[in-house]
């Protein structure tokens, strides 16, 4: 489950394993091993992965399917615009 989530986040972010590895300061082989569930990242690395992709550890570990968008520092007006865009997208997918 963890490997699938890391791979999904990497693919959605349009990153290669090499690019993700460089960004997290690990080897490509390490990323490959995580994605194939051959090894698990350390707790410290799990935190770094969560921060990098802006997801919760619960999401990454498959305990929660909620995905959050970081909006700290944005004005209320911009937040309202973002929420309207989300609502519009949801209504089109129904």
Give dist(CA 56, CA 16) in Å, integer: 22
| Sequence-distant (≥ 6) Cβ neighbours of residue 50 within 8 angstroms | 56, 57, 60
Residue 35 lies in a domain: yes
Domain boundaries, position 29: 2-60
Residue 44 lies in a domain: yes
The number of domains in the chain is 1
Residue 32 lies in a domain: yes
**CATH code of 24's domain:** 1.10.260.40
pTM metric for this prediction: 0.79
Q: Any idea which residue has 């970081």 for tokens?
A: 70
Q: Using the 8-state DSSP alphabet, how is residue 63 labeled?
A: S
Q: Extract the tokens encoding 38.
A: 């051959």
Residue 84 lies in a domain: no
Residue 11 lies in a domain: yes
Q: Are 53 and 44 in contact (CB under 8 A)?
A: no
pLDDT range class, residue 69, cuts 50, 70, 90: confident
* Mean predicted confidence (pLDDT) in 50-58: 93
């Amino acid at each position: 489950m963890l490997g699938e989530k890391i791979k999904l986040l990497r693919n959605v972010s349009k990153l290669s394993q090499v690019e993700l590895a460089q960004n997290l300061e690990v080897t490509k082989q390490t990323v490959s091993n995580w994605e194939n569930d051959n090894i698990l990242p350390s707790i410290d690395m799990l935190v770094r992965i969560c921060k990098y992709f802006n997801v919760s550890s619960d999401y990454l570990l498959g305990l929660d399917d909620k995905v959050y968008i970081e909006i700290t520092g944005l004005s209320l007006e911009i937040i309202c615009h973002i929420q309207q865009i989300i609502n519009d997208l949801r209504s089109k997918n129904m």
